[in-house]
Amino acid sequence: MVLRSGMLWLARNEQAEDLVRRSGVSRALVKRFVAGEDLSTALDRTLGINAQGMDASLDLLGESVEDEAAARAAADTYVDVLDQIQAAGVRSNISIKLTMLGLDISEEMAWGNLRRIVVHAGERGNFVRIDMEGSAYTERTLALFRRIHDEFPEAVGIVLQSYLYRTDSDVEEMIARRARVRIVKGAYNEPETVAYPHKSDVDAAFRRHIKLLIRSGNYPAIATQDEAMLRGAKLYADGIGVGQERFEFQMLYGVRRDLQEAIAAEGYNMRVYVPFGTMWYPYFMRRLAERPANMFFILKNLVRR
């Protein structure tokens, strides 16, 4: 837990970022988790995923934008991503972070950029997933989600994090409004005042939320690489007569590709979360924080530098 917290702290450290970006060893590992720095490369990777019978969710990496021009540019890029998805015939929706669209500047800035993207997605028969960030943004994110979902219920969905105490009630609310939910355990370093501090409690919450969403949700997305969780979800769905077409599994690009392919081969809907872009460092460090072997590998190389 201490090591994970340290890695999450490094995700916000500019000196560590500079070292990682200049390290050839680190860059090689980045390619495992990030589908490329440009959209063309990411689309090629996504076509390969589609060829294996899986769908995708393209995510332009970036967060905590504090410049209005940069927030508008991010919205422009997402509009282009949606156009390129359609032009290339790629089976993919998109994932977005509200702080990339200007939430730290103002809610109205983020709202304007968000609405533009969702309208564009709806016109192209596509779908936008709003990612959840740290707990300081949870209620603000949900407030904007409620607003956009009221207007475009078929074109937008939300992510909820099981490690937050509040998520039981948030899941119930999203079920009631028929919102499409991606449920995740959570990857940010949160205080005990808002999140379960112990893995066993997070796992129990995640199982609880999976069951609620499979039983009563609107095409939920179960996002995990945990094989025990995956088995449990399949068994629960089978046990209550919920067909494979009524939910999907989601996994991260570059993580357990063998498992992704096996689940798709079983006939389940599998979607791969495909991140791309130049602002990959915070995302990359969060992925390392989830994988101790990779953490030690990178830390060893940083110490050498």
Q: Which residues are catalytic?
A: 131, 182
Alpha helices in 34-106 (DSSP H): 39-51, 68-88
Q: What is the DSSP string of 172-196?
A: HHHHHTT--EEEE---S---TTTB-
| 8 Å CB contact between 141 and 130 | yes
202/102 Cα distance (integer angstroms): 30
| 8 Å CB contact between 154 and 180 | no
> What does each C-alpha distance from 160 to 36, 166, 243, 256, 286 come to in angstroms?
26, 10, 23, 22, 17
| 8 Å CB contact between 249 and 230 | yes
Burial (CB < 10 A; 0-12, 13-18, 19+), residue 125, is exposed
Burial (CB < 10 A; 0-12, 13-18, 19+), residue 39, is buried
143/156 Cα distance (integer angstroms): 14
107/110 Cα distance (integer angstroms): 5
9/12 Cα distance (integer angstroms): 6
